[in-house]
Amino acid sequence: MTHYTGLVDRYREFLPIGLETPAVSLCEGNTPLIELKHLPAQWGGKCRVLVKFEGLNPTGSFKDRGMTVAVTRAREEGSEAVICASTGNTSASAAAYAKRAGMICFVLIPEGNVAMGKVAQAIVHGATILQIKGNFDDGMRLVREIAEEMPVAIVNSINPYRLQGQKTAAFEVVDELEAPPDYHCLPVGNAGNISAYWLGYCEMAGHVTQVGEACGFSRDQRLFPPAIVTQSRPVMLGYQASGAAPFLRGEPVENPETKATAIRIGNPQSWDAAWAVQRESRGWFDECTDEEILAMQSQLASQEGIFCEPASAISVAGLMRDIQSGKVKEGSTIVCTLTGHGLKDPSVVGDLTLQSVPATLESIRNVVENKLNADTTA
Ligand code: F0G
């Protein structure tokens, strides 16, 4: 077996990175596709549901796929500093990859609305953190403006190299299933990731997509994998939190609100690309309430053993509804991307206080006995 050295090395010929350029990598990618064993049966219908657990990337989210390519490219171009606005995960990833590359990292985060685990990551990786009295959309505007004046490379998903890296997740899904799924479900914030997956699926199928142009690469620069494995592509389903659902409202949302802070975004940067994904894949957008999101996060953890962050659980929460209503066809194979790890945000779990027991065999035996009895009589 050869040592896995990350997705730039694995997919270099399909990425706009020179053959000799050393990758800035933390061995991201190659994440598991885990089949759900318990939940789908409870929803009725006979669908096969698998989750692509992107929380198992080096900094705990899918952002690492884009960041390895964006930072590799920024270093290749001679940049000394990177900058991003972030709801948390991008900042954690940018901070780690910038350090790996020996670069300076600036991050703008919305005050009071970033999960502590993500802030901790940006701190330990030595980013210069600017907590702004504004939301993500304000941060994004400021990042664009400062990059006009100062020599800092933007590593948000408006950087086309980010989506190039993120498209590799679709390559992995097709590799593993030996075919694309019938449907692919994703949370939608800025809509970069859903656009990137679609780009990946289209490239694998040898199809042209407007997303390619929308994310900054002309037709000629598109890099088709040589082995075209299939002509089919999945229907793409994008879910937004009800309080931050510009794709459902048809226009930007001024004051987005949701407990799924990762997708607390009112003015998505990949607006046109995401509509192209919806049209071309004949997919749809839908919304879920915070209650539905948190309930699904809890079910994935307590029934399937998978702890993802709230924003990630929306992909499964939305799918459940669409299976139950019959919008998703019986017998389909569906992949949901779980974009980030639950450990980033333990605060949403609720009360973390624990009961103490004496350190005696008797007290342990009592608890074990009671629990076993309760479970067998249930
Ligand atoms: N899930 C998680 C865990 C995220 O962190 C994000 C975005 C998304 C989903 C949505 O992906 O923006 O490509 O549609 N997080 C960004 C950040 C905005 O700053 O970390 P998208």
The one-digit pLDDT tens for each residue of the chain (378 residues) are 689 999 999 999 889 999 999 999 999 999 999 999 999 999 987 999 999 999 999 999 999 999 999 999 999 999 999 999 999 999 999 999 999 999 999 999 999 999 999 999 999 999 999 999 999 999 999 999 999 999 999 999 999 999 999 999 999 999 999 999 999 999 999 999 999 999 999 988 877 787 876 665 544 444 445 444 566 899 999 999 999 999 999 999 999 999 999 999 999 999 999 999 999 999 999 999 999 999 999 999 999 999 999 999 999 999 999 999 999 999 999 999 999 999 999 888 888 889 899 999 999 999 999 999 997 766
Rg, the chain, Cα only: 21
CB 90 near ligand 1, within 6 Å: yes
CB 89 near ligand 1, within 6 Å: yes
pLDDT of the residue at 209: 80
Å from CA of 190 to ligand 1 middle: 7
Q: At what angle do helices 89-101 and 116-124 cross, to 10 degrees?
A: 10
CB 55 near ligand 1, within 6 Å: no
pLDDT of the residue at 350: 81
CB 310 near ligand 1, within 6 Å: no
Å from CA of 22 to ligand 1 middle: 27
pLDDT of the residue at 222: 45
Question: Taking Cα atoms as reference points, which of 300, 280, 303, 304 lies closest to residue 292?
Answer: 300
Which residue is closest in CA terms to ligand 1's atom 6? Answer: 262
Which residue is closest in CA terms to ligand 1's atom 4? Answer: 262
Mutate to test the pocket of ligand 1, among 59, 89, 135, 270 (most ligand atoms within 8 A of CB): 89
Provide the H-helix boundaries in 63-159.
63-76, 89-101, 116-124, 136-149
Question: Taking Cα atoms as reference points, which of 287, 301, 378 lies closest to residue 342?
Answer: 301
Q: Contact, 209 vs 276, CB < 8 A?
A: yes
pLDDT of the residue at 375: 76
Q: Hey, is 105 helix, strand or coil?
A: strand
Å from CA of 366 to ligand 1 middle: 45
Å from CA of 377 to ligand 1 middle: 43
Q: Cα dihedral sign for 289, 295, 300, 305?
A: positive
Count how many residues are written for the chain.
378
CB 61 near ligand 1, within 6 Å: yes
CB 192 near ligand 1, within 6 Å: yes
CB 337 near ligand 1, within 6 Å: no
AA identity, residue 312: S
Mutate to test the pocket of ligand 1, among 193, 277, 297 (most ligand atoms within 8 A of CB): 193
CB 87 near ligand 1, within 6 Å: yes
pTM of the entire structure? 0.94
Distance, in Å, from the CA atom of 334 to the CA atom of 316, rounded to the nearest integer, reads 10
Q: Could you identify the atom of ligand 1 that is nearest to the CA of residue 61?
A: 3
Å from CA of 265 to ligand 1 middle: 9
CB 95 near ligand 1, within 6 Å: no
Q: Could you identify the atom of ligand 1 that is nearest to the CA of residue 89?
A: 20
pLDDT of the residue at 378: 62
Q: Could you identify the atom of ligand 1 that is nearest to the CA of residue 265?
A: 18
CB 267 near ligand 1, within 6 Å: no
